[in-house]
Chains A and B, each alone.
Chain A
Amino acid sequence: MNASTDIELDPAVKSRPDYPPVAIDARASHQVFIAEDNEQTSLTALSEQCQTGEKLSIVADAESLPVSLAELPLSTALYVSGSEGYLWDIHNRLTEMGFGVDKIHLLAPASAARRLFCTHCYTTMEGVAHTPYTCTGCGRPLLVRDHFSRILGAYVGVQINAEDPADLPATESLDESASDVKEAC
Chain B
Amino acid sequence: MSDPIQVRVAAVRTVSPKIREFTLEAVSGQLFSFSPGSHVVVTMKGTNAEGKAKVWKNAYSLVSDGFDASRYVIAVRLQDESRGGSVFMHTQVKEGDTLEITPPSNLFAPVWSAKKHVLIAGGVGITPFMSYLPEMKRRGAATEMHYSYRGDATGAYREELQVDEQTPVTFYDGAAGERCDLKAVLGSQPLGTHFYVCGPESLIEGVQETAMELGLPSSNIHFEAFAAPQPGQPFAVQLEGSGLNIQVSEDESLLEALERSGVEVPNLCRGGVCGQCRTQVVDGEPEHRDSFLSDTEKADNDCLMPCVSRARSSSLTLSI
Contact = CB atoms under 8 A, between A and B. Distances in A.
A101 B215 CA distance: 13
Nearest to B116: A98
A100 interface: yes
Contact of A74 (B113, B189, B212, B213): B189
Given A27-B212, A27-B213, A101 B219 contact: yes
A72 interface: yes
A98 B212 CA distance: 18
Interface in A76-115: 76-77, 95, 97-103
Interface string B195-216: 0000000000000000011111
Contacts of A28: 215
A29 B219 CA distance: 17
B149 to A, nearest CB: 27
B192 A103 contact: no
Given A74-B220, A98-B115, A27 B192 contact: no
B241 interface: no
A97 B192 contact: yes
Contact of B220 (A27, A71, A100): A100
B215 A100 contact: no
Given A27-B212, A98-B115, A103 B217 contact: yes
Contacts of A70: 191
Nearest to A26: B215
B218 interface: yes
A127 interface: no
B209 to A, nearest CB: 12
A73 interface: yes
A124 interface: no
Interface residues of B, number: 17
A25 interface: yes
Contacts of B214: 27, 75
Interface residues of A, number: 20
Contacts of B216: 74-75, 100
A77 B217 CA distance: 9
Contact of B217 (A29, A71, A97, A101): A101
B190 interface: yes
B112 to A, nearest CB: 13
Contacts of A25: 215
B267 interface: no
A177 B191 CA distance: 40
A73 B191 contact: yes
B115 A29 contact: no
Interface string B215-256: 111111000000000000000000000000000000000000
A17 to B, nearest CB: 16
Contacts of A98: 114-115, 190-193
Nearest to B189: A74
Given A27-B213, A72-B191, A74-B193, A100 B115 contact: no
A74 B115 contact: no
A103 B217 CA distance: 6
Interface of A: 25, 27-29, 70-77, 95, 97-103
14 contacts: A25-B215, A29-B215, A72-B191, A74-B189, A74-B191, A74-B193, A75-B215, A75-B216, A95-B113, A98-B193, A99-B191, A99-B217, A100-B218, A103-B217
Given A95-B113, A97-B191, A100-B218, 12 more contacts: A27-B213, A71-B191, A74-B190, A74-B217, A75-B215, A75-B216, A76-B191, A98-B190, A98-B193, A100-B219, A102-B217, A103-B217
